[in-house]
Chains A and B, each alone.
Chain A
């Protein structure tokens, strides 16, 4: 088994076969109604859930005439059941772009799986760095971290201005119960179907269900708003990435996810609680300057516990891709082993909240 793990030939199968770029070029030409020639196509790093390809395109004539750098985004050959399909992700991205959220311009989508093997979409390629370490280990973080946390707050408030009442995004289901309870049910179902039993995660889910906060306003929730999922050009925020977990929900969920300790990348001191880059105050101030409904600091500890539990369930699911899904990447095996770290965070968070309530 160990030999399989280290076998360089045991690479993950790809959805898109770059040697068949001419089929993609023909589809793009028809969609744009101008001849498109692809001059370079290459796979970008990351993406256990999705595949990202950078494509250089030469468009002759029409409204998009000229040379373009585009990003093609499609599903990984095997992906998590909890993420949106590409069509719904594209719709969320389009709505965010129209609302003025910093995102790479969505350009085209293809629902026809026969073109490259799965539905995909094309958006503008944005230069910059998305790696969490680029931000959290930046030598100048002290000089730009607070500004970045504020910008992340403002961008998030712009996302949360989108509501089901806006009439956009009709493809996203509107939760029929308290969003926190819907989230608990979703995670519980995923965990129940997993191969490993994690009683601690089930315990935390029971607590989260019993203590679900009342949501004051239902908004678009990014669902994976954290360091590592936004693009920095130098030290400037240029694009919010990875919209595949977008859903209608409680906006405080995104704040809790961004601030959860598991997403601070080791920057655990109080001045870096917002995504490991800046202070909570800078984040909340930026958010409150734009948002119609301000941050409710009383519910954030709840959503941070939810974040740890969700990460824990995702770790179990990633581990299952190795244990039962036939994938051989060592990263998946090791991620599966991380579940107790998130269980520990969640149990500590619950104990702290219960102690506060009991006046201890």
Chain B
């Protein structure tokens, strides 16, 4: 039985971007890769990897560790990753001026890896 909206009309189904990309990866792996010559499998794996990253970009991207660090380091809204990198390079921002800086940067990196390579995080013992 299909779902209905408040007015009793059948609810329009919409294929989400995430589902569509997941479907493409699944089809690529199940139906195309097994038939590829060995020298094309690496390229196919790269395509699947790129699609998987794009799928997670849609759903998982979490900038909050980055903004949390920028907000505690700079006056409201002035901080950018570029400014932070420049200040760390110059020694103006360091573990001495901002205790816990390393741990906060690690949180940013982990958030990125949740999108780019969650398998890497799992291999390093992180539960995600």
Contact = CB atoms under 8 A, between A and B. Distances in A.
Interface in B67-102: 80-82, 84-86, 88-89, 91, 94, 101-102
B108 interface: yes
Interface in A125-171: none
Contact of B109 (A192, A197, A200, A205): A200
Contacts of B108: 199-200
B102 A344 contact: no
B78 to A, nearest CB: 15
Contact of B88 (A203, A340, A350): A203
Given A205-B89, A333-B50, A200 B94 contact: no
A347 B124 contact: no
B53 interface: yes
Interface residues on B, range: 20 to 34
Interface in A303-360: 330-331, 333-334, 337-338, 340-341, 343-344, 347-348, 350-351
Interface stretch (B4-12, B29-37, B111-119): B111-119
Nearest to B89: A202
A199 B88 contact: yes
A188 interface: yes
A269 interface: no
A330 B47 contact: yes
A347 B94 contact: no
Given A199-B88, A200-B105, A347-B102, A340 B50 contact: no
A344 B106 contact: yes
Contacts of B46: 330-331, 334
B105 A341 contact: no
Contact of A197 (B43, B82, B101, B120): B82
Contacts of B82: 197
A206 interface: yes
A6 B82 CA distance: 32
A268 interface: yes
A340 B113 contact: yes
A: contact size bracket: 20 to 34
B84 A197 contact: yes
B113 A344 contact: yes
Contacts of A330: 43, 46-47, 50
A118 interface: no
Nearest to A333: B50
A350 B53 contact: no
B84 A199 contact: yes
A347 B80 CA distance: 21
Contact of B94 (A206, A266, A344): A206
Interface in B17-76: 43, 46-47, 49-50, 53
- Enumerate the 10 nearest inter-chain pairs by beta-carbon distance, A residue then B residue, closest first: A197-B85, A197-B81, A202-B88, A197-B82, A200-B105, A340-B112, A199-B84, A199-B85, A340-B109, A347-B106
Interface of B: 43, 46-47, 49-50, 53, 80-82, 84-86, 88-89, 91, 94, 101-103, 105-106, 108-110, 112-113, 116-117, 120-121, 123-124
Interface of A: 5-6, 188, 191-192, 197-203, 205-207, 266, 268, 330-331, 333-334, 337-338, 340-341, 343-344, 347-348, 350-351
10 contacts: A188-B89, A197-B84, A199-B88, A201-B85, A206-B89, A206-B91, A334-B53, A337-B116, A343-B105, A348-B106
